[in-house]
Amino acid sequence: MSTWIVVIVVVVVLAGVGLWYLSAFNAFVRLRNLVAESWKQVDVELQRRHDLVPNLVAAVRQAASFEQGVLESVTRARTDAQRLTARDDADVVAVAAAEESLSTSLTRMQALAEQYPQVQAVRGYDALRRELADTEDRIAAARRLYNANVRALNTRIESMPSAWVAAAHHVGRAEYFEPTSPAVRDVPDVGDLLRRDRPEA
């Protein structure tokens, strides 16, 4: 009788361990899928910004005296960022650096454009600025969701005993999507530019 009890206990324990293992593995699958899905949303919003840049540059270019070097900087930054996000195996850290460069260039262009009344008078320019501001907000929201999912995945990878399952199935840490410079952590605050009073002509 005691032998059967031991067998039953062993079976129950093994079954419990097996169920826990499957649960832990499925949790990693779910978290990895959430990270991938939320990154796709980040990519959609970044592409939306990339699509806006040529129209903004074209509008600003109508001011003949506007610094062409600034426009060229924006165009180059946009090309670099778009090239990286177009990859299926996009490097999140590299994308973050490229988007930071684009954000810096856009902020500089927006600030300079405020000094040119002829740019402000270009048909559709104000609507483009507002659309860019809305897109920046959407990027920030998508980034927060993505980083939250990354944090959940990485925390589980680092926690015991889930770490054993992660190691057994080669589940690696995901990278956060963050600017490298704290100065542009909330890239860029175009809404602030929109709230500023326009300079008098």
Ramachandran quadrant class, 144 (left: phi over 0; alpha: psi -120 to 50; beta: rest):
alpha
Give a yes or no: residue 201 inside a domain: no
Give a yes or no: residue 34 inside a domain: yes
Give a yes or no: residue 77 inside a domain: yes
Rounded to an integer, what distance in angstroms lies between the CA atom of residue 115 and that of residue 126?
14
Q: What is the pLDDT of the chain when averaged over all its residues? A: 81
Give a yes or no: residue 200 inside a domain: no
Task: Kindly give, in sequence order, each residue whose CB lies less than 8 Å from that of residue 95, ignoring residues fewer than 6 positions away.
Answer: 46, 81, 84, 85, 177
Give a yes or no: residue 52 inside a domain: yes
Tell which residue, 154, 201, 129, 139, has the closest CA to residue 34.
Answer: 154
Give a yes or no: residue 83 inside a domain: yes
Reported as half-sphere exposure (CB side, CA atoms, 13 A), residue 20 has a value of: 11
Global pTM reads: 0.77
Rounded to an integer, what distance in angstroms lies between the CA atom of residue 116 and that of residue 74?
18
What are the helix (H) ranges across the chain? 2-61, 68-85, 92-113, 117-120, 125-158, 162-168, 190-195
Domain containing 109 — which CATH number? 1.20.1440.20
Give a yes or no: residue 157 inside a domain: yes
Least confident stretch, 39-48, 80-89, 121-130, 173-182? 173-182
Domain span including residue 184: 2-195
Task: Kindly give, in sequence order, each residue whose CB lies less than 8 Å from that of residue 139, ignoring residues fewer than 6 positions away.
Answer: 42, 45, 46, 49, 187
pLDDT digits (tens, 9 = 90+) for 124-144: 788 888 898 899 999 999 999
Instruction: Count how many domains the chain has.
Output: 1
pLDDT digits (tens, 9 = 90+) for 44-60: 999 999 999 998 888 88
Give a yes or no: residue 12 inside a domain: yes
